[in-house]
Structure 1
Amino acid sequence: MPHKPIIAFAIGDPAAISPELAVRVLAKHDEESATLLVLGDARVLDRGLLHANLEDAGLAGTIARVRPEDIGTARPTRSVFVDLANCELDDVEIGVASVTGGRATLDNFRVALTAANEGFADAVYFTPFNKHAMRLGEGNYVDEIGFVNRTIGAERSGSEFNVLDEVWNARVTSHIPLAKVAESLNTDRIFRALQLTTEVMEGAGIQRPRIGVAALNPHAGDGRNFGTEDEDIIFPAVERAKAHQLAVEGPIPSDTVFVRAVKGEFDAVLTMFHDQGQIAMKLIGFDRGVTLIAGYPFPIATPAHGTAYDIAGKGIANDGAALKAIELATRLARPASEAPEITKTFADAVQGTRAAAANASISEGAPVH
């Protein structure tokens, strides 16, 4: 019998389209594909049901609602909604970032990561976050990768991938100022990114993926006329990857590498910085794109688009990317045999991760709102 993974499902920003998308995903969920451990506030789920206005709410309308202490030390055998009771909706205006919304979002994500890290789930999925709201809720928040590292005590940082059916995008640097990109690049870092991209894509069933490596400078440096990084840093990384039998080519001018990928020459493009890939991927398939965070013991997936405050509460959110993201999380989920042994109750795990977060905020001087 095929392994049926458990997905820790964190509901995102309560002021955004996230509750509606959560409901739409639950309404279309196939219980035979995965068991969902849905995490959030029951009031937010009910708001999502109201906004989605579905004729058939499916699992969203019938899912069992439990408390953290009801989970005990066993992995769930059916999909459940865990009410974390963490979001007072009177303090959350639709379409507006808030302290309350940011804190609830972070708590949902923190608990989802903890559930996977403690063996209760095999992958993490979330509907969209709003970084401004999350920074209002927790002053030391920077981005998802830093948050994951702190929450699970990761030994190494993961990496973000943007995924479409026709092409994947991996990146060497992510949420840093453009002015710091060149100085942050080195041959080892690019080579490791190529190794991780190959590893993750093979885990998704794409054997020996063909990777086009984007140049940093216009025209790949034009023979050192427009910069030296392409010849001195990127090219050696590509050659090292080839020596390790990876299917890579580059550096390729970034204004053509995605054209070649979409035509079928490459399965993935490795870009040097965030928007070098994001702009292309969102133009190719904004409503289908998935963001995958990989390199941890379990995968983390979410729609690649944002929180769409402008259409929140209107019942018109497109669920295409949300459905693609949970499909990918299910496909890449860690085998149950590799999950750590559960050593504490779910309630104790929740209490522990919340206490650690509170202590970290105090020690790091995070602002109190």
Structure 2
Amino acid sequence: MTVRPLVALAMGDPAGISPELTARLGALDDIRARCGIVVIGDRRIFDAGARIAGVAPQLKMIEQGTNLRRDDADALFVDLGHLDPADVEQGAASLAGGTFALANYRYALELGRDGRVDAVCFTPFNKQAMRLARADYDDEIAFSAEVVGLKTAASEFNVLDRLWNARVTSHIPFRDIAARLSSERIHRALALTDGCMRNAGFARPRIAVAGLNPHAGDGGNFGREEIEIIAPVVAAAQQQGIAAEGPFPADTVFLRAKAGAFDAVLTMYHDQGQIAMKLMGFDRGVTLLGGFPFPICTPAHGTAYDIAGQGVASVGASRAALLLAAEMAAAASSGRRP
């Protein structure tokens, strides 16, 4: 018997497009056919988003603490009742918005941590609002690790259809990138990428490793990181059974990956991969937090304050994020649950 995975869907920033995206997801028949969803948020904010989106999803209201797996409904709503729509200024980052999104996400993570759902998905956050609500907020990875109690490595991946992008460094100033690169960091990123992709169904993911410098250092003319750090790690990973190649020039490696030569590209810093992935499919891209005991996914775009309230936001990336979370959860649970 196939058991549909249960995915907690946390509402993101209420001042952007998150409410309407959440409502659109709740109204999609293909989502309900693939997984059960548990929306976390404030029903008043959700209903406002539904009106903007022009949809009327039917979600069953349940109390906090309810055994979610015993409910036959394919779409549930946990109303935290913590934000009046009158207190939301559309298109503006605020303490209220950040507090709302953090509370929803924390609740969803706790459901995943406690085994009450199989995966977590969230509609876009605004980092300025999150930091207004929590001064030491760094990013979703650090916050998620704290809530879940994760002690091992985690990383952010961008997924576009079947192409993955991983990175060695992430949300740090550009001037600090080279100093942060080390054999240990690169190897850890490669191993985590290989492991997460295998969990997602890749039998032996082919991973291209980008260089740091222009033309991958051009034999040492533009820097020696490729020769002294990156290439030795790639060789060591190959000896361990990881299908890694490189380092390759970052300005051409994504062309090869897009053509099917690789399943993933490991980049050395944030924008090296983000720019390429978003150009290839901004409306379909997914961000996956890998290394956690359950999938955590979100659309790769932001809160789009400039179009909030207009009802024109594309649900494509949010749909892809929810379906990837469900797919990975189903693969992980197959043969484990009755």
Fold similarity call, TM over 0.5: yes
Q: What residue is the counterpart of 1:319 in the other structure?
A: 315
Q: Is 2:336 aligned against 1:335?
A: no
- Counterpart for residue 46 of structure 1: 47
Q: Name which of 62, 66, 75 aligns with 1:66.
A: 62
2:264 counterpart residue number: 268
Unaligned runs of 5+ in 2: none
SS in 2 for 1:115: helix
Q: Is the 8 A contact 1:51 1:314 kept in 2?
A: yes
Number of the residue aligned with 1:20: 20
Structure 1 residue 206 displacement after superposition: 2.0
Seen in structure 2, the aligned counterparts of structure 1 residues 75 and 270 have a Cα distance that, compared at 3 Å, is farther
1:264–1:72: structure 2 CA closer, same or farther, 3 Å change rule? closer
Query: Per-residue deviation at 1:157?
Result: 3.5
Tell me, in whole angstroms, the C-alpha distance in 1 between the residues paired with 2:27 and 2:119: 20
**1:67–1:83 contact (8 Å) kept in structure 2:** yes
CA distance in 1, matches of 2:327, 2:69: 23
Q: Are residue 116 (structure 1) and residue 117 (structure 2) matched?
A: no
The aligned residue for residue 229 of structure 2 is 233
**Alignment correspondent of 1:187:** 183
Displacement after TM superposition at 1:74 (Å): 5.5
Per the TM alignment, residue 88 of structure 1 is displaced from its structure 2 partner at its CA by 2.3
In 2, Cα distance between equivalents of 1:326 and 1:74: 18
1:218 to 214, 218, 221: 214
The runs of at least 4 aligned residues of structure 1 exceeding 2 Å deviation read: 29-32, 72-79, 336-339
Q: Decide whether aligned partners of structure 1 residues 73 and 257 sit closer, same or farther in structure 2, where only a CA change above 3 A counts.
A: closer
Question: What RMSD over aligned residues (CA atoms) do the two structures have, in Å?
Answer: 1.6
| Structure 1 residue 170 corresponds to structure 2 residue 166 | yes
Structure 1 unaligned residues grouped into runs of 5+:
340-369
Cα distance in 1, alignment partners of residues 8 and 162 from structure 2: 27
Are the equivalent residues in 1 in contact too, given 2:7–2:120 (CA < 8 A)? yes
**Deviation readout 1:228-284 (Å, 9 max, x if unpaired):** 111111111100111012111100010111111111111110001111100000011
Change beyond 3 A, Cα 1:27–1:211: same
Give the alignment's TM-score, normalised by structure 2: 0.95
How big is each residue's C-alpha offset from its partner over 1:75-101, in whole Å with a ceiling of 9 and x where there is no partner?
A: 644321000111122221111111111
SS at structure 2 position matched to 1:3 = coil
**Does the CA contact (< 8 Å) of 2:296 and 2:325 recur in 1?**
yes
CA separation in 2, counterparts of 1:128 and 1:16? Answer: 8
> Structure 1 counterpart of 2:249, which letter?
P
Q: Which residue of 2 aligns with 1:342?
A: none
Q: Tell me the distance in 2 between the aligned counterparts of 1:191 and 1:317.
A: 38
Q: Secondary structure of 2:288's match? A: strand
- The residue type paired with residue 233 of structure 1 is I
Give the partner amino acid of 2:256: R
Cα deviation, residue 105, structure 1: 0.2
Shift of 1:183: 1.3
Instruction: Map Cα deviations across residues 317-360 of structure 1 (whole Å, 9 max, x no partner).
Output: 00111111111000111428869xxxxxxxxxxxxxxxxxxxxx
- Aligned equivalents of 1:227 and 1:124: distance in 2? 41
Q: Taking structure 1 as reference, are residues 159 and 6 closer, same or farther at Cα in structure 2, changes over 3 Å only?
A: same
SS of 1:110's partner is: helix
- Contact 1:17–1:308 (CA under 8 A) maintained in structure 2: yes
**Alignment pair present for 1:126 and 2:127:** no
The answer (yes or no) to whether the contact 2:67–2:116 under 8 Å persists in 1 is: no
Query: How many equivalent pairs are there?
Result: 333
SS in 1 for 2:219: coil
Q: How does 1:75-86 map to 2 (within 5 A)?
A: 76-78=71-73, 79-86=75-82
Kindly provide the CA deviation profile for residues 153-212 of structure 1, in whole angstroms up to 9, marking residues without a partner as x.
Answer: 211241111001152101111111111111111112211211211221122222211111
Which amino acid letter does the alignment assign opposite residue 110 of structure 1?
Answer: R
TM-score (norm: length of structure 1): 0.87
1:249 match: secondary structure: strand
